Amino acid sequence: MNLKKITAAVLSVAMLGTVGMMTGCNSSKKYKVGVCQLIQHPALDLATKGFTDVLKEKLGDDVEIIEQNANGDSATCATIVNNFVSSNVDLIMANATPALAAAVSATNVIPVVGTSITSYDVALGEGWTGKNITGASDLAPIDQQEDMILEIFPDVKKVGILYCSAEPNSKYQADVMIAELQKDGIQYGAYTVTDSNEIQQQTQAAIGDGCDVLYIPTDNTFANAAETVKNVVVPAGVPVVAAEEGICKGCGTVTLSISYESMGRAAGEMAYEILVNGKDPGKMDVGYSATTKMYNKEICDQLNVKVPDGYTAIA
């Protein structure tokens, strides 16, 4: 979805939330829902929590939720969702892109609701709309994130963009950020890793190349190794602007972040509409959550970063 349509999408999610205020379910039907989460880290955990909380609030004992974690392995995602299909679950929630791809490959009949997906077009390619798929996105407006870089660091000379090349949605965000930096004539460098073992080296390389601000998109590999980044950037005095709260809490200074729990709840509302009210996932728009400007007080203090009004400290 075009970034300019986010406002309208937020309203759609808000409307779903209004529907969600009606608790309980009069139906005696029992539902079985499978949750496949790519890996355990705070952002994805919150998305799963939001999703499951909504269904438990609405359906109580009428829903059985089976949560499975793939420990970061795409092949395990495939095994998990194939087991869900064999068990004839009523709906699959796929948390993160590899989980979504596995679910879509496993079934074209069982409804699939995604969470923590930056771009469904990037994750699934063209032609996915109108099928058994819908969900919520974790994409925040990248043009506004670039505005944040210029607001907090007006003297920035070069931005280093760090991401995992094995995550297509991370590359998508990096490409959009590059385009925004080019518009403003800001130098940049892209530094990619294939796994967490390369993060320290590539972070050091970005700093060594003269990058005075680093940007990290919503990226599962970096989210799971934010401490590694922190151990490089804080001693070097180089700030990180992160695309989501979890990475910012681990190694960043500021972020324009969605709430992963709210995103998960939006996906839960969608699942309820599909299960109970018979909504066709193929006709449901992807949902987006509102964003919040946030800052990491500890690292901002360490790096002497001055944060203007309107930012909320990360707990």
Cβ burial of 32 (10 Å; 0-12, 13-18, 19+) is middle
Taking residues 281-287, report their average pLDDT: 95
User: Per-residue confidence at 127, pLDDT binned at 50, 70, 90?
Assistant: confident
Mean pLDDT along residues 25-51: 88
Contact 71, 37 (CB under 8 A): no
The candidate with the shortest Cα–Cα distance to 295, out of 218, 258, 230, 241, is: 241
b or e along 6-29 (b: 16 or more beta carbons within 10 Å of the residue's beta carbon)? beebbebbeebeeebeeeebeeee
| Per-residue model confidence (pLDDT) at position 14 | 42
pLDDT of residue 5: 39
Measured CA to CA, the distance from residue 70 to residue 81 in angstroms comes to: 10
Q: In this model, does residue 7 exceed pLDDT 50?
A: no
H/E element holding 186? none
Q: What is the pLDDT of residue 154?
A: 96
**pTM of the predicted model as reported, rounded to 2 decimal places:** 0.80
pLDDT of amino acid 289: 84
Please report the pLDDT score of residue 17 as a whole number. 44
* Mean pLDDT score of the chain: 91
Does pLDDT of 19 surpass 80? no
Give CA–CA dist 13/236, Å, rounded: 41
Residue 229 near residue 27 (C-beta atoms within 8 A)? no
Pairing of strands 291-295, 287-288: unpaired
Would you place residue 125 in the very low, low, confident or very high pLDDT band (cuts 50, 70, 90)?
confident
With 60 as the cut, is the pLDDT of residue 23 above it?
no
Give the span between the Cα atoms of 239 and 252, in whole angstroms. 7
Q: Find the mean pLDDT for residues 216-222.
A: 94
Q: Which of 115, 37, 139, 48 is nearest to 80 (CA)?
A: 37
**126: confidence class by pLDDT, cuts 50, 70, 90:** confident
The closest alpha carbon to 102, from 67, 75, 130, belongs to 75
**Extended strands (E) in the chain:** 31-37, 63-69, 91-95, 112-117, 133-137, 158-164, 187-193, 213-216, 240-242, 254-258, 287-288, 291-295, 312-313
Give the model's pLDDT for residue 129. 87
As a whole number, mean pLDDT of residues 223-230 equals 96
Q: Tell me the helix, strand and coil percentages in the chain, rounded to 5.
A: 50, 20, 30
